[in-house]
A and B are shown apart, each in its own frame.
Chain A
């Protein structure tokens, strides 16, 4: 009997010693089989590799993911680990949905700047990859139009870019000189087009204070950007907001556009479709340097999570180069470190997408790091669409500034 009691007691101790605390993880990739498979693999490796934590994944469709998070925050039902789109993170941190992520400095050393989300001087989120936008064209197009090949060190100037578009248009070989992807809406507009504004010298908000958009979005530089932007459509150089999504997907591949402003996620499909001489060129320099958007999806920890150390343990585990490389090979995005890039098929030295890593490293500028970005981004999107459709540039930008400033004021400056 004594032996039996001891056995039960020891068994109980053993059970406690091996019990893992479950951490829920919400992810935006439902429906993406490859992405889900890789994430499930990482989670499986993590769960079986230690005895403290067990991560359970719940995936959501990307289009409704943010709404699900906000609803869960209202209902007090947030998971422990969540993933968050880089520019949205400050808003969630400010709103109290997230807490700082206690990852070790060594775990994020050497990562692309934009893959580490910081707010209030603390790390809140870390990404396994980044995304970059480039100017797609063909070598044969440049040869045919007699254009030089721009480089990171020597990108096209505003005049050169305008001349390239005009030359493509007058050649008569294309439906449009440039495909900007106007068929895509939402975050694509600030992500892809605000770098043009920044290259002109403007911005969505004044980053020195984050308390106003005055001067940044309606100053001289912004007006010059707005006039240039409108001319792209009035001069018939680019398709406008009525562009068919199907044209966006297949127009460049089929040779109907000379240039396309598109992300690295579309590059593999372009090459696979037989565009053998595709070139991924750096953003033009419109006077204030060349910039492209940055910061993609990142892991963070919710404010209600009782085990941030467990969340950090998982994130640090997921940041291993082999997993960054696996994600990159699987879904085509840019790995966060050079070491991981070297392990990939596409981003390694000499790989077909190697230019994107260099672009991300050299030209990336994160979108305004402020909780107000979520609203400002929508205002910016509408303003650009309106200008593309012929609205007065100065009036539209002034109205956008008023709307952004009113939102900042209504939210008490968003903590800045």
Chain B
């Protein structure tokens, strides 16, 4: 009887691994296709799409597409721009949104609940509906730089950063998390004479690792992967363009498919590295928020 049970357990294990392997393969196929295709000339790439050869490094394999992609577009510049904008935006976002959430959860002030409702209500407003008014606004904003006051933020990094620092989702994540922290800790710190900022910095934030990771991951993916429309309309200068606008360089009358795949592979590297470093936090964040990046 015990033997039968062991056999059943073994069979279940094999079945489970087989299913998991199959699912993993399905999810890996686009990545494998992208990487393999980036190594093939266009003609072969197009021919192979109708068979399993599309996923195999067979035929005329080379790094020519990568060389050509670098010739076609300033990829390094685009990647640096995206990484810089992402890092600065995410850093400022978690700092400011967590401060806002702290004020919403722990501090008492008139209109607090109404203000929180208004912030959360912006979740349902698509960015496309405010893009034009925002464009008109940033094109006329002042900025104090080393050469004095300048007017208009177009063709700068700040125009790609500032409008994205505060968003309702990040505030909401921090609010929900802060609500679950033990109130006694905050009250004890206040009773000991800590200022609100000291409570935030020395009590709340050290306990907020999980929500911090979630916010950083979700925001980073949004800033790195999804910034297209906004930079398209506010950045005409090539030196400030991010990676997603750079995609358009490969869509000519005849699409350079191989080079496009090489470009996609290259710009995926920072995301993959980011994922590998924060793998555990990544899975936990998706599990906790039910939100996919």
A interface vs B, CB < 8 Å?
A: 26, 30-33, 58-64, 67-68, 71-72, 74-77, 244-246, 249-250, 263, 265-266, 269, 273
Contact = CB atoms under 8 A, between A and B. Distances in A.
B237 A58 contact: yes
A64 B250 contact: no
B251 A77 contact: no
A30 B248 contact: yes
B129 interface: no
Interface string B247-272: 11111111100000000000000000
Contacts of B249: 30-31, 61
Q: Helix, strand, loop or mixed for chain A's interface?
A: helix
Interface stretch (B131-139, B160-168, B193-201, B277-285): B131-139
Interface stretch (B18-26, B42-50, B95-103, B112-120): B42-50
B135 A31 contact: no
Interface of B: 42-43, 46-47, 49, 71-73, 132, 135-136, 139, 152, 154, 232-234, 236-238, 245-255
B113 to A, nearest CB: 37
Given A33-B72, A61-B249, A72-B236, A249 B46 contact: yes
A75 B71 contact: no
**Which label, helix, strand, loop or mixed, suits the secondary structure of the B interface?**
helix
Given A31-B73, A75-B154, A250-B46, A62 B252 contact: yes
30 contacts: A26-B236, A30-B249, A31-B72, A31-B248, A31-B251, A31-B252, A32-B252, A58-B238, A61-B247, A61-B248, A61-B249, A61-B251, A62-B252, A68-B232, A72-B236, A74-B135, A74-B139, A75-B135, A75-B136, A76-B139, A77-B154, A244-B49, A245-B255, A246-B49, A249-B42, A249-B46, A250-B43, A250-B47, A266-B254, A273-B43
A63 B254 CA distance: 13
A60 B245 CA distance: 9
Closest 4 CB pairs of A and B: A61-B248, A31-B249, A71-B233, A75-B139
Given A31-B72, A76-B139, A269-B254, A58 B236 contact: yes
Given A74-B136, A75-B139, A246-B46, A61 B236 contact: no
Given A61-B249, A74-B136, 8 more contacts: A31-B73, A33-B72, A60-B248, A71-B233, A74-B132, A75-B139, A75-B234, A77-B152
A75 B136 CA distance: 6
A265 B135 contact: no
A58 B238 CA distance: 7
B245 to A, nearest CB: 7
A31 B250 contact: yes
Contacts of A273: 43
Nearest to A70: B233
A64 B49 contact: no
Contacts of A246: 46, 49
Contacts of B238: 30, 58-59
